[in-house]
Amino acid sequence: MDDLDGVNGIDDEPFPEWLRPPYRGFTVDDLFRLPELPPHTQLIDGGLVFRARQSVYHSLANSLLVEGLGRTCPAHLRVRRETVVVLGPGQAPEPDVLVIRAEAARSLEADRHAARDVVLVVETVTPDSAIRDRERKPQLYARAGIRHFWLVEEGARRRPVVHVHELDPATGAYALTGVHRDRLRLAVPYAIDIDLTAIDRM
């Protein structure tokens, strides 16, 4: 077996102990305690989720939304990018973009936010996280009571298509309120007007 291991390129290094999940899964405390974790590691259902390298499109789409949201953001809110939101002991996803209450943004050293402080979460779909972005994360955000959720897909000519959802109190799930191409105009959570074609000029 040793010879076969060598032929297949399998080394004998032990499995990193810090990667071995506890019986009940990792917790939020573990997420912020383990120094070995790479940047932007998320915690979903007690499991560590590592982020793949971002594409240029993914980065530009998120930058476009951050700039657009920030342009009309009212004084009582703040726009943030890639900050962990704590939803429960084993749930700490990191949305691509989020809007939070200004009171929760006072410390520039904050490395996480509570769900109660989040007004909007945005997930830009990537191939490695498509199921999480489209299915599991919306379930978790809705269960935590975050009112607004946007799912951003890559559309024609590599322009973002924004699927806007709002929490339905009767069902506790998100309801699709619109699909926006080329331009994103909304009145909630505040007045927003973003030219989605501007990604062509970035």
Domain ranges of the chain: 2-49, 56-201
In angstroms, the CA 124 to CA 136 distance is 14
For residue range 45-69, list pLDDT tens digits in order: 999 999 999 999 999 999 999 999 9
Q: Buried b vs exposed e over 14-53: b needs ≥16 C-beta within 10 Å?
A: eeeeeeeeeeeebbbebbbeeeebeeebbbbebebbeeee
Q: Give 178's Cβ-side CA count (13 Å radius).
A: 9
- For the chain, list residues with pLDDT below 70: 1-13, 15, 108-109
In angstroms, the CA 86 to CA 112 distance is 7
User: In angstroms, how far apart are the furthest CA atoms of the chain?
Assistant: 66
Q: Which of 74, 77, 64 is nearest to 124 (CA)?
A: 64
Q: Which of 145, 194, 200 is nearest to 172 (CA)?
A: 145
Fold assignment, 56-201: tt1808, chain A (3.90.1570)
Prediction pTM value = 0.90
Identify the pLDDT of residue 3: 45
Identify the pLDDT of residue 7: 46
Q: Is 104 exposed, middle or buried (0-12, 13-18, 19+ CB in 10 A)?
A: middle
E runs forming strands in 12-147: 42-44, 47-49, 77-81, 84-86, 97-101, 112-114, 118-124
In angstroms, the CA 9 to CA 58 distance is 34
Identify the pLDDT of residue 108: 66
Identify the pLDDT of residue 6: 46
The answer for 137, left when phi > 0, alpha when psi is -120 to 50, beta otherwise, is alpha
